[in-house]
């Protein structure tokens, strides 16, 4: 199991995740962080046991065993939706 931290920043009007692509495995945890208030959710599909979200900063989410693919989050910084650059990949 690996713990992953994804940092979200506002760059050129987009929410940009660092790293922009994160490969995670079942049992890994993912936490989002930012210097601003960040809320992360997934619209239709999620790799997490905890569901679609919303997820708050500092709350680790656990990758489910039976979820595979590329997952694109929807992110709010300071309550504002903007296009997001960043994906989670579960091989």
pLDDT at 35: 93
Element (H, E) at 12: none
**pLDDT tens digits, one per residue of 32-85:** 999 999 999 999 999 999 999 999 888 999 999 988 999 999 999 999 999 999
Dist. CA 7–CA 33, nearest whole Å: 5
Dist. CA 4–CA 19, nearest whole Å: 10
pTM as predicted: 0.92
Give the homologous superfamily in CATH for domain 3-90.
Cupredoxins -  blue copper proteins (2.60.40.420)
Closest by Cα among 27, 29, 36, 28 to 7: 36
88 C-beta neighbours (distance < 10 Å), count: 25
pLDDT at 52: 96
**Within 13 Å and on the Cβ side, how many CA atoms surround 46?**
18
Dist. CA 35–CA 51, nearest whole Å: 25
Where along the chain do its domains lie? Answer: 3-90
What is the 8-class DSSP label of residue 51? -
């Amino acid at each position: 199991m690996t713990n992953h931290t994804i940092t979200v920043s506002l760059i050129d009007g987009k929410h940009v995740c660092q790293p922009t692509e994160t490969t995670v495995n079942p049992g890994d945890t993912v936490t989002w962080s930012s210097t601003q208030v960040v809320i992360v959710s997934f619209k239709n599909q999620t790799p997490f046991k905890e569901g679609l979200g919303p997820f708050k900063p500092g709350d680790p989410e656990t990758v489910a065993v039976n979820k595979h693919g590329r997952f694109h989050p929807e992110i709010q910084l300071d309550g504002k939706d903007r296009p997001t650059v960043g994906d989670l990949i579960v091989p």
